[in-house]
A and B are shown apart, each in its own frame.
Chain A
């Protein structure tokens, strides 16, 4: 059995990229909101990290949706997903969340960068000006809804797969939580990487704040991964077969142990702990740690998607 082509495989790597990007977008937004709310307040708009998140979040979600549309066998008919809804379909509800998320995301970005946008516009387009002022008044509500939508989006990437009842590895209640947490940590990593690339201070308050959340997040993720596979193995039957097949020797076993556990979780955790005790953080430290995190989450998406479809009930 080859790692990328096998009997019963329906969804290929574009879906893994889509799941990765959607989770990353949700995570970036989540951390940008946290940064603004707890640390930066009205200074948020000129933080390179918030700016990075404000670029990454929409680009990632658009990119992910683009990949999703091109992965359809009839890409030109994608509008039918927007017109017709099915309440029992996770995908349909996810599309609804995605649409609302994008709308509220732009509203929030407009709120955060209102001052900058006003500067740029000057006296032109008074209607945009009025809309901005109205949005800023609603900022608390927008922020609250966006947090809910971002968490929904992150969890949705897992629910999308856990609805597939024929595959015991995917049809698992821990999966949405695992994807949510790893999505958040990928968002944090992307925000950090983007921020330092935009010449943000690698020793600044933002980096310290995000790293402070990242360490417990990685620990939770390790715990979730353990629960995920321990649960499968203890279930016995095909669930056990699926788990042992995924974790055992072979291509995907290597991806999991070296890629997800090694590069994605252990090294970032070690680096974070090291940076916590060492006096100051340098560009290379932050960038490398964030890149490792991103690679780990991306590999996790592929690992779950492919090994999940290998073993049916």
Chain B
């Protein structure tokens, strides 16, 4: 019995050694070209002013065109509720549903290969499609249900604040530019002079499902119009 106990401990030791070895191959960060700075200067976020939004879906069309999003899936949706009030004075409420770029992103936590990652330089939650195997764990894990499998690449896809298509060229995300009523404000949370921070300080805003501890970076300014909902 003494011998077998020692052998058992040996086995456990081997297991632990193996477990520490995988740390070498593990690197969820896709393009870790720059060293992880202690305090990154950029943390992108977005505000959707639901009072200004008219539900025209121009943001959806612009996103589809710029990011080559095929029909049947979408990186952004505008959820409509209503009508509120009596005819002919009726109104609707609109809420943007798209990637919230969570600081504690559930999709990044569950991704087995590290294909879902947070870009340390910008705070953007992004997808490295080369690593994605399509297990769809991230799609199930996202409480905001904004991820989908891209029908052509067969990998997980979602809003990346146009990181690949427009930010690199110094342009704002396509949806922000397309919005006719300026309901969308994009900017750097770390810059106190940005329109984004000024807007967030001027108007009360809310974020969806904060009780899940996801710390999302998509802010909403709630509609004043219409009835009080319980």
Contact = CB atoms under 8 A, between A and B. Distances in A.
**Are A and B in contact, CB atoms below 8 Å, in the complex?**
yes
Contacts of A83: 25, 113
A12 to B, nearest CB: 10
A138 B7 contact: yes
A219 interface: no
Contacts of A86: 26, 28, 111-114
Question: Is the interface on chain B under 10, 10 to 19, 20 to 34, or 35 or more residues?
Answer: 35 or more
A81 B135 contact: yes
Given A140-B4, A142-B11, A145-B11, A96 B110 contact: no
A84 interface: yes
B154 interface: yes
Interface string B135-147: 1110111111100
A88 interface: yes
B80 interface: no
A86 B109 CA distance: 8
Contacts of B212: 165-166, 313
Contacts, number: 126
A81 B112 contact: yes
A81 B18 CA distance: 17
Given A86-B28, A165-B141, A145 B110 contact: no
B8 interface: yes
Contact of A92 (B4, B5, B9, B113): B113
Given A80-B133, A165-B141, A312-B143, A95 B112 contact: yes
B155 A74 contact: yes
A84 B110 contact: no
Contact of A166 (B26, B111, B141): B141
Given A11-B136, A81-B113, A166-B143, 16 more contacts: A8-B145, A72-B133, A73-B134, A81-B133, A84-B112, A84-B114, A86-B26, A86-B111, A89-B109, A89-B137, A92-B113, A165-B141, A166-B106, A166-B144, A166-B209, A312-B143
**Across chains A and B, which 6 residue pairs bring their CB atoms closest together, nearest first?**
A73-B134, A140-B4, A166-B143, A141-B11, A92-B112, A141-B7
Interface of A: 8, 10-11, 71-74, 77-78, 80-81, 83-92, 95-96, 100, 137-142, 144-145, 163-167, 309, 312-313
Interface of B: 3-5, 7-12, 15, 18-19, 22, 25-28, 106, 108-114, 131-137, 139-145, 149, 154-155, 209, 211-214
24 contacts: A10-B139, A74-B134, A74-B155, A80-B131, A80-B133, A81-B112, A84-B26, A84-B27, A85-B22, A86-B28, A86-B111, A96-B19, A137-B7, A141-B7, A141-B9, A141-B10, A163-B110, A163-B141, A164-B140, A165-B214, A166-B141, A166-B212, A309-B140, A312-B145
